[in-house]
Amino acid sequence: MSKISWLHLSDLHLGRDVYNEKVVLEELLMDIRKQLEINKIKLDFVFITGDITYSGQKKEFDYVQEFLSKLLVVTNLNKENIILVPGNHDIDRTNLLSVVKNSKKLLNNRDAISEIIGNEAEREIYTQGLMNYRQFIENNFSWAIQAEKAPLFYTLNKKIDGIQVSVLALNTAWLAYGDDNEKGKIILGERQVREAFDKVDNPQIVITLMHHPFEWLDWFDSNDVKQMLERRADFILNGHEHRLEIIGKGSIFGKAFRISAGSVYETRNHINSYNIVSSDISEGMASCYFRRFIDRDGGFWSEDDTLDNSICNGKIRVKLSERIVEKFPVDVEKHEKVEKKELWINPVDNNVQLFIPDMPKDLINRIREGKCILFAGAGTSLDAGLPSWYELLKSMIEQVDACGQLDENQKEELEFLINQQDFTVIAEFCKEKLGVKGFADLIKEKLNTKNKISTIHNILAEIPFKAAITSNYDNFIEKTHKNIRVILPDDINKFDKETIASFFEEDIFPIFKIHGSHDDPSSIILTDNDYRNVIFSKPKYRENLRQLFKDKSLLFVGFSFRDSSINLLLQEIFTITDGMSNAHYAFLSDIGNIKKDFFWKSRNIRVIPYQTVDGTHIILNKMLEKIRDEFR
């Protein structure tokens, strides 16, 4: 049996609020000890992915030293098994104005960055803000002492339970001299990554640590390093975003399993979090344990089930990538006994043979005859890394909190509401608190598609739909189609039936954005008030949509049918026409016959079912490709 286990901490921010830090961290240490005992885990590593201090001051590292000394006792490890990378809060920004000014000139300049990384004197200039951090790790960890002088990165090669492990401790903070909101401006550097990989020693497992996630890198830098790391690393761990997250489930572009740690200490009433991962390589599985701090009854740590609906009691089982499994003999009997109810998240191997059913001939004919409209739901944009409904609301809550508009009772109630998935109430509250500009700025930031690629949208664009209807706010459909005309909710309400019908006669591709667009935040329909206003106060909006739904067949892709306004329209049409309207189609995953029958008998929707594979929707992409190929 070959096992490797680690504790993942990030964003401790020590030295700012010593009393409250102590409350949270003392409970943290007790919880770590308890979780290791209950789950019978023997740790091999502690990984800390940046922001161990609040402002990189020397005195703050004294608190780090004290905390790590206690952590070593709890984890029963020695210092050599604690691996750190720096974050932007570990930079001492005192007297760094010239460095800040010069660092901004390096954006979009790959050659200049490569030259600095390879030149020790230049590197010293740009990393002087990390001097206190570097001195701290060199004084405490032999892996830092043994490395070259003033490196950006550290590569550690260790044998753990017979497994040759290489850890790449990468530095994403070396040019992070701006404020905390530097998304899209962070630099890792292709040369740093390549040189780190050059120092690995025939590893069987590669673990990469970095503070900032890929989404925070400058676009050209992300293009350079993202696929390289996802293809060559087995695990990628990061921090910075102060939220716990499994990233890139079932990525078809690489085989790395990515986890964002969340923040160990932001404030006492923040949803502080950490995780433990224990991989049984011989079984081909990993157990992930997610914990969060609850600031109630004096404060305590508890299981975190908010990350994914499939997480139960703060635990989830995931399937390791084929690349890992194929290096080790798998205990097949033990592997097959894993309970089916547990979610397996596994980057899908493109070579895996998947059964793809034939597509309905009637659907193909309707598309060919120009009688089919695409209905794109939120699921079509998730593969590009855009936030889900849950994630968007979490960002709104965090922004309202950052503006200082939440009291303790409101924070507690919002946490309760989001756990209860009472999303429309949260949306109403946050939109009002943010105000017009604050709401617009957040929507534009979170739903920006610049330098993002949606594989599913690229496939959909090659299918000759007559038009598109979407409940999404992003602009992926606009980006992937030519000769478009975007029609927003006010336009739908303004036009008469003849105008709507004329769009289908012209050489354009109409896109009906029924809930608005992030390009025009004032058009967005998000809250109960918004929905009520558009349905009951704008009669032509509802009438025109109803006509579209009656005249054409719709193919629903990435849509969950939780939208009350769309369900109301479908039921209204079904009732008015006595079930004799055009049939629609919908791709839905893991659906049984009872629910299929319900959709047909109540909404005239023929469900095209498919099974998720290891928690992914790879079969949906293949089914859409099969439709696309009919028209090539």
Question: What's the pLDDT at 363?
Answer: 94
Mean pLDDT of 368-390: 86
Q: Is 70 exceeded by the pLDDT of residue 242?
A: no
Q: Where are the beta strands (DSSP E) in 30-162?
A: 45-49, 82-85, 154-160
Average pLDDT rounded to a whole number, residues 119-148: 84
Mean pLDDT, rounded, of the chain: 83
Q: Residue 207: pLDDT above 90?
A: yes
Query: Percent of the chain, pLDDT > 70?
Result: 86
The stretch 55-74 carries a mean pLDDT of 93
- Dihedrals φ, ψ of 584, to 5°? -115, 170
Q: Are 619 and 356 in contact (CB under 8 A)?
A: yes
Question: Please, are residues 427 and 418 in contact by the beta-carbon 8 Å criterion?
Answer: no
Mention every residue, 6+ apart, whose C-beta is less than 8 A from residue 118: 191
Taking residues 379-391, report their average pLDDT. Answer: 80
pLDDT of 333 over the 50 cut: no
Specify the pLDDT at position 354. Answer: 57
Between residues 377 and 183, the one the model is more confident about: 377
pLDDT the model gives residue 312: 64
The listed range with the strongest mean pLDDT (235-244, 315-324, 441-450) is 441-450
Region 257-271: what's the mean pLDDT? 83
Please report the pLDDT score of residue 557 as a whole number: 94
CB atoms within 10 A of CB 296: 10
Q: What pLDDT does residue 102 have?
A: 60
Instruction: Tell me the mean pLDDT in the region 41-59.
Output: 93
Token pair of 540 as six digits: 């032509």
Query: What are the backbone angles phi and psi of residue 339, rounded to the nearest 5°?
Result: -60, 135
Q: How far apart are CA 552 and CA 485, in angstroms?
A: 18
More confident residue, 321 or 298: 298
Report the b/e string of 153-181 with b at 16+ CB within 10 A: bbbbebebeebbbbbbbbbbbbbbbeeee
Among 382, 447, 412, 430, residue whose Cα is nearest residue 529: 430
pLDDT tops 90 at residue 261: no
pLDDT tens for residues 4-16?
999 999 999 999 8
Q: Which two structure tokens, joined as six digits, stand for 85? A: 């990378």
| Selected residue with higher pLDDT from 423 and 498 | 498
Name 410's Cβ contacts closer than 8 Å, sequence gap at least 6. Answer: none
The residue-averaged pLDDT of 256-280 equals 85
Average pLDDT estimate for 464-476? 93
On the CB side of 110, how many CA atoms lie within 13 Å of its CA?
A: 9
Among 38-42, 168-172, 275-279, 331-335, the minimum mean pLDDT is found in 331-335
Among 287, 377, 316, 332, residue whose Cα is nearest residue 566: 377
Please answer whether residues 173 and 86 qualify as being in contact, where contact means their C-beta atoms are separated by less than 8 angstroms. yes
Q: Give residue 97's pLDDT.
A: 58
How many other β-carbons are positioned within 10 Å of the β-carbon of residue 219?
14
Of residues 184 and 237, the one with the higher pLDDT is 237
Phi, psi of 40 (to 5 degrees): 55, 55
Helices (H), 233-370: 322-325, 332-336, 361-368
Look at residue 250 in the predicted model and tell me its pLDDT: 37
- Segment 143-168 shows an average pLDDT of 83
Of the pLDDT bands very low, low, confident and very high (cuts 50, 70, 90), residue 454 is: confident
Tokens of 560: 């969950």
DSSP string, 243-271: SEEEESTT-SS---EEEEE--S-S-TTS-
Place of tokens 């030293």: 65
Q: With 70 as the cut, is the pLDDT of residue 462 above it? A: yes
Q: What is the pLDDT of residue 41?
A: 93
Q: Could you give the percent of the chain with pLDDT greater than 90?
A: 30
Confidence (pLDDT) at 99 = 60
The whole-number pLDDT of residue 244 equals 52
Residues in the chain: 632
pLDDT at 574: 82
User: What's residue 166's pLDDT?
Assistant: 92
* pLDDT recorded at residue 337: 43
Which of 345-349, 355-359, 458-462 is the most confident on average? 458-462
Distance between CA atoms of residues 229 and 360, nearest Å: 40
Backbone φ and ψ of 241, nearest 5° = -80, 0
Query: Could you tell me if 50 and 13 are in contact, meaning their C-beta atoms sit under 8 angstroms apart?
Result: no
| Position 226 confidence tier, pLDDT thresholds 50, 70, 90 | confident
Q: Which tops the pLDDT comparison, 256 or 5?
A: 5
The conformation of residue 153, written as its DSSP 8-state character, comes to -
Q: What is the pLDDT of residue 72?
A: 94
* Contacts for 563-570: CB closer than 8 Å, 24+ residues apart: 563/471, 564/531, 565/531, 565/534, 565/535, 566/471, 567/603, 568/535, 569/542, 569/545, 570/603, 570/604, 570/605
The pLDDT of residue 339 is above 90: no
Among 38-52, 196-210, 249-263, the range scoring the smallest mean pLDDT is 249-263
Mean pLDDT, rounded, for 24-38: 94
Judge whether residue 307 has pLDDT over 80. Answer: no
State yes or no: pLDDT of 34 exceeds 90.
Answer: yes
The answer on pLDDT for 331 being more than 60 is no
Task: Give rounded-to-5 percent helix, strand, coil for the chain.
Answer: 45, 20, 40
Q: What one-letter code names the amino acid at 33?
A: R
Q: Is the pLDDT of residue 344 over 50?
A: no
User: What residue type is 591 in one-letter code?
Assistant: I
- Residues 378, 384, 385, 386, Cα dihedral to 10°: -40
Asked if the model's pLDDT at residue 336 lies above 60, the reply is no
pLDDT at 104: 57
